[in-house]
Every structure is written in structure tokens, then in C-alpha cells.
Structure 1
Amino acid sequence: MKSSFDYLEDLLADNYPIIACESPLQERHRLLTRITTYCQQAGKKAYIWNLSEDSIKELVVSAEENLVLREFDHYKPSIKQNKEDYFQVLNFWKVYSGTGVLIVENIFPWIKENTPKETDFIISEWIKSSLINLKFHTKDSGKTTILLGANAEIASEIAAEIPLWSQELPDAQEIIDSLIKSKNFSFTYTEQDYLEIANASAGLYISDIMYCLNDISKNHDLGNSSEIAKLLLSKKIQLLNRLYDIEFLPPPKVQLGGLELMQQSFKKFKRLLTPRAKQYNLRVPKGIMLVGPPGTGKSHSAKACSQNMGIPLIMVDWGNFRSFGNQAEMKLKRLLRLADRLNQVILYFDDFDKGFAGDDDLAKRLAGQLLTWMQERTSDVLVIASVNRMEWLPPELTRAGRFDYLFKVDLPNNGERYSIFKLHAARFDERFRNGGDPWSEEQWRRILKATNRCVGAEIQTIVERAASTIFCETVIEDTYASSKLPALELTVEALLEERRQINPLAIREADKVESMRNKADQQALPSSPLDESKFAVGNIEIFS
């Protein structure tokens, strides 16, 4: 199986005059070393130019496999009178009598689709013309120009003239091969050990993996593969969160009160990840949309899905993409690449509708990019999006074949509020753990009546505030040994008092909330069955 680098070497072997290379900054040294090694083996010279140096250096890989830069005296930079003078290297390479591969950095920002300033537009057009001329003059000349950068944006009028190679995230075999060949580490792993390390580091580039291993080796013995895999996973999570502006979560352990119909679907989706399902050409849905008012548990439902399916969860605030401006599409592309490489993962877009509130061109481009990926992807990535206002979404997002399942996550009914209360109460009061329930049915009916139209987030707040109040009133500071702390016992009166002090969103913004619920009713499936608990409306014994 060919690696990502092999495809680049195929382009070089075919003597393409210009090749665009997209590679992250942390992989720069490895990529330069790989290109230079290829050139030396093919009997070619390798050179590099970038804007900061404005000089050409010859690249050589030494016998110790170190990358060395040598002086190259044939290129003499001109005096800079105009902006285009900074890119005279293109004209030099066009007429240079020698052969080889010239790597040019820092050029993609000047040849992307839209250049805002008039002065930038002029230099952009000059560079585009120079590249077209360079391709024409260096064809079959033994000279190749590699345009290198972290984000290879190319204007549509010249994109067809320049083949694009993108450095993909390494697969498990590439990671294993790099570990075996590494000179910095000496491993005594079995084949299974290597696979465990590779799976733990999936989603990182080789340079990042080596950096993490080097950091781990300072305090741990690399001989224990299971321990190293756990440490690698921990460092990977920290790195991915920082690099991609996401929250990466291994399958969490959460409890969800209610929403049984939706949870049954999640369990069905887990079976669709199995090899047997693949034999029947079955796959996980393209996407799931969770629709409903704020605070009803949509984000918590995504965590429950991750738990039920046993795969990691990537949580992303979709609205944040708008804040990235011109970088938004590049950020989304990198995120989708990461999800593809991780393969079996849930990609959760929170507040999906807010990214389309402005109805601007950027929102439409992002939606188109996501839809194209969802339509063409071959990985087992499950996309989940939470939505408050469906009317803000472009119509093409909600038609059949885009998001296969739409679930209405509604205000919890009496039975669900009872379950939610017990889940949160068990965090503070031991009496509620292991199925315990210290209160009578009459007491619960008082609580459930008072919290009608409260959502899960508001119930959580009520319980937490009641527990805090009881603690402050009953536990005297520094008078108990840590092993003999007094029990914290919630009371019905404390919960009702905290309820009186908040104004639920569904009451405060009743018109908006009802509008959200009605829109969801029109298109989405119910997440919960009819309330059949003893607290259901209608299950009240009026004759005692």
C-alpha cells in the first residue's frame, strides 16, 4: 500500500513542472528530508527558497541522514522597488540553465481565490502569470517547482494547471514503519505492541508522535507498550484540543434520564460498525440532527451516543467557524481530515444553526463543504448536529439523504424529570444511589408540579444549588475527620426554594420555545416514548 509520500514521489518522477504541496508546519523538516533524499537517489539537485531569506539554498541529506543547507551563489536577489521584486526567484528559475527541484515557500497567500486589497490584487496577478509562464518554459527541462505551504489555496483560474498533493495523516502502518525506522528510540515491541501504539496515536502526524514519545521517555520506560499507549492517548487528546479548537473525548461514562427512543437508535448504530454489517453493505447514518430548545440535553445526548457506541467524541462549536474568517474553510477541511483518519468517531457540531444565522456567503461555503464531505466520505464517522432553530438552516441541509435522522429533544415529561432529579441527587445524597429513593410519591408530585417546563440543565442547577445551601447550613467547617463526614441530605423544601428563585427559559421565553418545539414537531422523530410512569399526567388517583 502506498504512503502519502509515495504519491508525491510519483509526481516528481513524472517531471511535473509545478506541484503544489500542502503540508503542516510541524512536518516541514520531515518533508524536506524526504524530498531531498528522493532527489539524491534520482540524481537531481534539491533547492529551497522562502520569503524571509530571499536566497536559494541547496538541500543535502548527509550520511548521518541529517538535512544540510549549502550556499547557492547563482541567485542574486535584486533591489526591492516593487512588491513583485520579492518574487523574482520565479523568473530566475525560469531562465536558470541548471536542473533540479526548487521548493518555494510563502506563496499560497498570494495566489488564493480572493485577494482583498488592490495592491495585493496586482502582485497576485503578477505571480499567477509568472507561474503559468514558468510551467510553459520549464516543461521537459528537468526542472520542477514545488509550491509548499500549510494551506494550499489556489485560485480557480490556475488550479487546473498545478497538481495538488496534500500530506494526509498517517495510517497505522505508516506510524509503525516510522517507529521501527526511528533512530531516536529503540523499541522491543511485538507486532501487537506496535499496533497498540499506532492506534493510540492515530490522528497525529509522525512529527507530533515523535515529540510526544520523546516527552514521555523523560519520565517513563518505553518498554511497557500498554502504559505508553495510555500516555500517548492522553497527550494526543491535549494536542488535538489545542490544534483543532475542539474537545476530544474518549467514550465517556454518562447517565441519561429519558430519551429512550433515541438511545435505542444509538444502540442500533453500534451494530452498523461491525464487520458483519459491512458484508451487507450497511453503514452508520450520514448524520443525525438533534432539534429542540436550549438545555434539553442535546450535548449530553451526544455523549450518551458515544458511550452506547463505544467510540470517541469530537465536540465542536459550529458557530466558532465564523470567527475564523478566511481561515474557516481550511479549519473545517483539517477537522474533516482528522475525523476521516480516526474513522470510527462521532463528530458533534454544537449550536449548528447559529453558524447560519447571518445567511452570508461564508456560511453557505461551509455548509457546501460539509455536505460534500458527508456525501463522499468512506469512513465510519457519525455526524451529530444540535439545532435550536431549524428555520435558520439552509433547506439543502434538512432534505432527505443529508441528515438521515432528525430527533426532537423536547422538554422532559414528568417521568423523565423524575429520572433526571434522581441522577443529579445521587451525586450529593447517598440515599439516592443504587436505585434508592427516600421520598414519597406525594413529595415527588410536589417537586414535579413545581418544575413543570424545566429542562434538564435547569433541574441540574436546582439540585446543585440546593446541595450547596444545605452544606453551608449543616456542615461546620473543619470539625470532622475526613472519614467521618456527616451525610448531606437533600430536602424537598430546599429544592422547591431553589425552584422559586429561577425563572425557566420555557416560561420566560415561552413564545420562542414553543416556536422551536412546533418546528421540530413538523420534521423530527420523537426521542421519548409516551410517559407511562406513575407520575404521568392522567395517572393521578383522585379517589383515595
Structure 2
Amino acid sequence: MHKELINNLKCFKGAYLSFPTLERSKVKQEFLQQLSSDLNISVYYWNLATKELVNKEGYKQKLTTLQNLFEGLQNDFDKGIFCLENIGALLHDEIKTKRETLTTFLLDTLDNFKLSSNKYLILLDIEELELPTHLNSLLPSVIYPLPTVNQIRDILEECFKRNNLSLLLSDRVINSISGLSAAEIEVGCQLALSSPDFCDGLYQYKIKRLRGLGLEFLPSPDVSDFGGLDRLKLGIEQVALDYSYKAREYNLPFPKGWLLAGPPGTGKTFAAKVVARRLGFPLISVGVDLVKSKGAAYLKRILQRIEAAAPAVCYFDEFDKFFDPEAALTGSGSTKEVLGVLLTWLQEKQSKVFAIATLNRLDALPPELTRAGRFDKIYYVGFPQAIERKQIFQLHAGRFDERYKINDGPLTERQWKLLLAESQYCTGAEIRSIVEMAAKNRFYNNSPINLELNDLIAMRRSITPLYVRDTERVLAMENRARFVAESASSPDNSVFAPENWDLWGDEEN
């Protein structure tokens, strides 16, 4: 990273350096001092709190206004690396004139520094804000790196030595804290010392820290099997093979991820959790609304965290919310920048991070995201077919009535056909609700929870399925995905499949 920052300083005379809050001391005392040594130039600091320009050698000058600060930088120094802390926050000030004034100061200062070979400007940021678009090309962003595996090992060894511990530094211990910054790891180590299990203490701290950053971290999703979706299940097994040692022997690339499209309630989110469970990876869910509010720079940092925490499943729910339709048409705004980050990451990703994005409408995505090389597969997860509805009914009914776990359960073939006809176009989530309502109804009536056909049909008729409530929109989702995605389910050839008739009333083959 030092090399990247030095190159940016020499090319642009400035850079925008962002880092976690806990890394502030380390950045100032170690990282920037190393930069000073590499360039053989003194480093000066200024922030809004002290309003003093200082350096390590004892220089101190009071500069109380931004005008005085930037005029001083331009006129009073022949050389130096000038680090201004949290100035970036002022570039987002609600008052337009203040933003424009600061922007002018920055542009004038950069122009002035280009006349000197040894003057550089660095904006330091701990709030992880994104620079305005018009400054991105003038002050390239540099993200403070997370520690490597060897560096994590060194931090842990130092912690053990300092506290007279003799724990084995296994991969489990290192993985339990990967994805955090060096300072965060040090804090996590101190907190974990009071935990009965040091490794578990580290893991719990990591979960809390990532949640504080807007990432939902599920170490091992607690999910069971799901009914239907046989092609998707086969895909899960193939992904597991792609991550196997045998695949590494043949130099096969790591898989990139899947897009799962379909109506709400059809099992997309549940499928993502099953993938994580099958692979043995933690599931890291990215908050789309938070990314939209903080911008592309924040997304870069989040993806950096997830890469460092590999292996993991990176999950984007409601993926289409990333992309504002109007902005997508004009190719402007934060939508374009977020798209650029996602495209680059998906294209170049070489780590054990499997991305799963779920959404309702594929046509809401920019076409660049659905072309080859981004996601490995695009599945359409639609309404379950008859045999799949039967599997889902049995899966959930078996939680309350043991009879449904044996063969076809207590219902005859004719009764199953009646129930499946009644539940046509019900989603998996709606079937689950029907079963749970039927079980509760028997419980409330102080009856044994023996779920019969009448119980299930009565509860089915008490709800209005999504398909009935919003038929036109649901059909549009299916039609728009037809030529882009593959179905997550094979055709239903079971005895429960409804007969197909042509327009003349004859049964089709």
C-alpha cells in the first residue's frame, strides 16, 4: 500500500486515505512516519479540533480558518507531506457555499503543489465517507490495508507473550479474527482473555464489530433442508466440489457466485443460507440501504473486509435496490460508482468468497451484471411445482406430526392431489404459514396435532396468496427472466403433476 500511496502522491500531488477509527494512532505514528522516511520529507498534521499545524520535530503553527490553512500551505512551505484530518466531512456540508469554498481551496492547493516536487496533500478520513465525484479523479482514494495472515499471527503471538499465554495458533484461531484491522484485533484479544474459550471470545467480538459496520455475520446458518429446487441443490453440490482440494489440483478457478431471481417467498434467502451451511462458510449479509447511503467507497471497504474474512458467503438481499432506475438510465450518480465497484470485484475476485444476490426483477439490473464473467449462474426461483409443494408440505408438517416423515404421510394420493390443487401458485413461505396455522389451530382447540387434509385446506382458504394479489407483476417477473435465467427446478413428471391440455381439449404428450 505504501507503494500505491507514493505513486498517487507523485502523480496527483494528493490522496484520500481512509482507515478504521481504531487505526488512527497507528496510521499517524507508524504508517505516515514510514512514508515520511521513504520520501525523506517531514509530515505535518492539522485537524478541526486543535486547528494547529504540527509535525514530529516540534513545529507548531495556529491556523484557525480554512483560508489561513490553505494559504499557509501554498506560501509558507517549500516541502512537506500535509495531512488534514476529517476535512472530507466538510465536503458534504449541507450549505452549498461552504462545500464550494472548500473545493476551491483544495483545487488551488493541488495546483500550487504541482509547481513543487516535494509538496503533497493527504486528506485523512476515519468516517469512511466518499469524496464527491468531481474530486475522485484529483484525489484518488487509498484504503488502509487489513493485516495479512502472517501479520495476524504476529499480533496474536505478541498478545500471548504479553499475557503469558501458551495457546496453539491454529487456523481456527486466525480465522476467528480475520477481517478486522490490526487495532481491532488487539482490542479483541484483550476482551477474549476474559472469555472461557479464547477463540470463541475472538469470534464473538468479530461478529459484534462487523455488525457495527453494517454487516450481519452468521457463523453457521441454522437451517434444515428445503423442498424442491433440485437443480439449485445440484448446483450447491457442484460449488462444494469447486472448492475442494481436487479442484485445486486441476487449477480450476474458484466460483464467483449466483444471482437468484423470483417472487418474494419462493425460498431465495433460505437457499443462500443452505449454500453457506453446505460449504461450511459463514454467511455475511451486506446491508444494501447502508451501502446506498454511504456510497461506493464504503462498499469497497466492506468488500475488503469480506475478502479478508474468507472463506465466506457474501449475501446481497434485494440486490436491485442498489440501482436507482432513473440514475441507471442516465449513467450518473452513485449508481454508476457502485456498479463499477461491483463489476470490478466480481470480475477480479480470486478468493474463497461466494457471492449470492437475490432480487425479484432481473430487468432492474444493469445488463453488465448479467453477462458472462460476473455471476456463474442465474437461477429463477419460481412458484413450487406440485411435487415440490408436496415436499414442502411434508417438510413443515413433519415438525408437528411425525406421520408426515414416513413415505407419503397420512394422506392418500387422491388427498394429496386435492391439497396440491388448492395450493397451486402458493410460495414455499405461504405453505409454511398454512402448516403452522393449522398446527396452532389444533393446539388452540386443545386437540392432538394430527394434521388432516381438512385442516390444511381450511388454512389455505383463509389466506390470499401473492399470486392472486399481484398476478400481473408476478407474471412479469417470470416472463422477463425466461430468457436470462435457468429454472431452479426440473419439470415435474410425478403423478401429482397436473395434466396439460391443448386448446382443443386433448391431453398433450
Aligned to 2:354: 382
Q: Deviations over 1:421-457 (max 9, x none)?
A: 1111222334445768233333323322211111101
1:77 equivalent to 2:63? Answer yes
Aligned to 1:313: 283
- Code of the residue aligned with 2:181 in structure 1: it is Y
Q: In structure 2, how many angstroms separate the alpha carbons of the residues matched to 1:318 and 1:177? A: 35
Of 149, 174, 195 in structure 2, the residue corresponding to residue 198 of structure 1 is 174
Q: In structure 2, how many angstroms separate the alpha carbons of the residues matched to 1:26 and 1:276? A: 41
Q: In structure 1, how many angstroms separate the alpha carbons of the residues matched to 2:474 and 2:446? A: 38
Of 421, 424, 441 in structure 2, the residue corresponding to residue 469 of structure 1 is 441
Aligned to 2:84: 104
Distance 1:247 1:497, change over 3 A: farther
Aligned to 2:380: 408
Distance 1:317 1:53, change over 3 A: closer
Q: CA deviation at 1:298?
A: 1.0
Q: Which moved more, 1:428-437 or 1:359-368?
A: 428-437
Q: CA deviation at 1:340?
A: 1.9
Aligned to 2:153: 176
- Code of the residue aligned with 2:473 in structure 1: it is K
Q: In structure 2, how many angstroms separate the alpha carbons of the residues matched to 1:420 and 1:46? A: 65
Aligned to 2:109: 130
Q: In structure 1, how many angstroms separate the alpha carbons of the residues matched to 2:391 and 2:268? A: 17
Of 19, 44, 47 in structure 2, the residue corresponding to residue 23 of structure 1 is 19
- Code of the residue aligned with 1:282 in structure 2: it is L
Of 166, 176, 180 in structure 2, the residue corresponding to residue 188 of structure 1 is 166
Q: Deviations over 1:19-47 (max 9, x none)?
A: 54221212112222314764898897654
Do the aligned partners of 1:77 and 1:88 also contact (CA within 8 Å) in 2?
A: yes
Aligned to 2:303: 336
Q: CA deviation at 1:311?
A: 1.9
Of 191, 205, 208 in structure 2, the residue corresponding to residue 215 of structure 1 is 191
Aligned to 1:510: 471
Q: CA deviation at 1:124?
A: 1.0
- Code of the residue aligned with 1:261 in structure 2: it is R
Q: In structure 2, how many angstroms separate the alpha carbons of the residues matched to 1:434 and 1:491? A: 15
Q: Counterparts of 1:388-467 in structure 2 under 5 Å? A: 388-433=360-405, 437-467=409-439
Do the aligned partners of 1:90 and 1:134 also contact (CA within 8 Å) in 2?
A: no
Aligned to 2:46: 49
Aligned to 2:504: none
Q: CA deviation at 1:207?
A: 2.0
- 1:246 is paired with a residue of what secondary structure? strand
Q: In structure 1, how many angstroms separate the alpha carbons of the residues matched to 2:35 and 2:287? A: 44
Q: CA deviation at 1:259?
A: 0.7
Q: In structure 2, how many angstroms separate the alpha carbons of the residues matched to 1:285 and 1:39? A: 38
Aligned to 1:478: none
- Code of the residue aligned with 1:264 in structure 2: it is L
Q: In structure 2, how many angstroms separate the alpha carbons of the residues matched to 1:242 and 1:74? A: 36
Distance 1:494 1:373, change over 3 A: same
Q: In structure 2, how many angstroms separate the alpha carbons of the residues matched to 1:159 and 1:512? A: 40
Report the TM-score, using the length of structure 2 for normalisation. Answer: 0.85
Do the aligned partners of 1:19 and 1:145 also contact (CA within 8 Å) in 2?
A: yes
Q: In structure 1, how many angstroms separate the alpha carbons of the residues matched to 2:109 and 2:379? A: 54
Distance 1:458 1:357, change over 3 A: farther
Aligned to 1:223: none
- 2:258 is paired with a residue of what secondary structure? strand
- Code of the residue aligned with 1:167 in structure 2: it is Y
Q: In structure 2, how many angstroms separate the alpha carbons of the residues matched to 1:500 and 1:152? A: 51
Q: Counterparts of 1:217-366 in structure 2 under 5 Å? A: 217-220=193-196, 227-318=197-288, 321-322=291-292, 324=293, 327-356=294-323, 358-360=325-327, 361=332, 362-366=334-338
- 1:88 is paired with a residue of what secondary structure? helix
Q: Which structure 2 segments of 5+ residues have no match? A: 501-509
Q: In structure 1, how many angstroms separate the alpha carbons of the residues matched to 2:341 and 2:142? A: 19
Q: In structure 2, how many angstroms separate the alpha carbons of the residues matched to 1:429 and 1:238? A: 38
Q: CA deviation at 1:158?
A: 6.7
Q: CA deviation at 1:179?
A: 2.0
Q: Deviations over 1:377-418 (max 9, x none)?
A: 222322222232222222222223333312121211111111
Report the TM-score, using the length of structure 1 for normalisation. Answer: 0.80
Q: In structure 1, how many angstroms separate the alpha carbons of the residues matched to 2:75 and 2:407? A: 82
Q: Which moved more, 1:526-535 or 1:446-455?
A: 526-535
- 2:61 is paired with a residue of what secondary structure? coil
Q: CA deviation at 1:473?
A: 1.4
Q: CA deviation at 1:488?
A: 3.5
Do the aligned partners of 1:390 and 1:520 also contact (CA within 8 Å) in 2?
A: yes
Q: In structure 1, how many angstroms separate the alpha carbons of the residues matched to 2:497 and 2:29? A: 69
Q: Deviations over 1:52-102 (max 9, x none)?
A: 210234559xxxxxxxxxxx5641335xxxxxx325334434555697655
Q: In structure 2, how many angstroms separate the alpha carbons of the residues matched to 1:19 and 1:354? A: 31
Q: In structure 2, how many angstroms separate the alpha carbons of the residues matched to 1:97 and 1:369? A: 38
Do the aligned partners of 1:317 and 1:352 also contact (CA within 8 Å) in 2?
A: no
Q: Deviations over 1:242-287 (max 9, x none)?
A: 3124354435432110111111112111121234424434224433
Q: CA deviation at 1:339?
A: 2.4
Q: Which moved more, 1:517-526 or 1:154-163?
A: 154-163
Q: Which structure 1 segments of 5+ residues have no match? A: 61-71, 79-84, 221-226, 476-486, 540-544
- Code of the residue aligned with 1:341 in structure 2: it is A
- Code of the residue aligned with 2:279 in structure 1: it is M
Do the aligned partners of 2:390 and 2:420 also contact (CA within 8 Å) in 1?
A: yes
Distance 1:245 1:87, change over 3 A: farther
Q: CA deviation at 1:504?
A: 0.6
Q: In structure 1, how many angstroms separate the alpha carbons of the residues matched to 2:12 and 2:158? A: 30
Aligned to 1:68: none
Do the aligned partners of 2:386 and 2:497 also contact (CA within 8 Å) in 1?
A: yes
Of 56, 62, 68 in structure 2, the residue corresponding to residue 88 of structure 1 is 68
Do the aligned partners of 1:240 and 1:248 also contact (CA within 8 Å) in 2?
A: no
Do the aligned partners of 1:90 and 1:131 also contact (CA within 8 Å) in 2?
A: no
Q: Counterparts of 1:474-513 in structure 2 under 5 Å? A: 474=446, 488-513=449-474
Q: Which moved more, 1:95-104 or 1:230-239?
A: 95-104
Q: Counterparts of 1:146-157 in structure 2 under 5 Å? A: 146-150=122-126, 151=128, 153=130
Distance 1:41 1:401, change over 3 A: closer
Identity of aligned residues (%): 30
Q: CA deviation at 1:160?
A: 6.4
Q: Which moved more, 1:415-424 or 1:363-372?
A: 363-372
- 1:386 is paired with a residue of what secondary structure? strand
Q: In structure 1, how many angstroms separate the alpha carbons of the residues matched to 2:63 and 2:345? A: 44
- 2:285 is paired with a residue of what secondary structure? strand
Q: In structure 2, how many angstroms separate the alpha carbons of the residues matched to 1:156 and 1:523? A: 33
Q: Deviations over 1:87-143 (max 9, x none)?
A: 53344345556976553202234569x998244213211222123324534x34xx6
Do the aligned partners of 2:260 and 2:381 also contact (CA within 8 Å) in 1?
A: yes
Distance 1:488 1:176, change over 3 A: same
Q: Deviations over 1:161-209 (max 9, x none)?
A: 66654212222211111122347533313343xx332111111112222
Q: In structure 2, how many angstroms separate the alpha carbons of the residues matched to 1:87 and 1:186? A: 53
Do the aligned partners of 1:253 and 1:307 also contact (CA within 8 Å) in 2?
A: yes
Distance 1:292 1:157, change over 3 A: closer
Q: CA deviation at 1:525?
A: 1.2
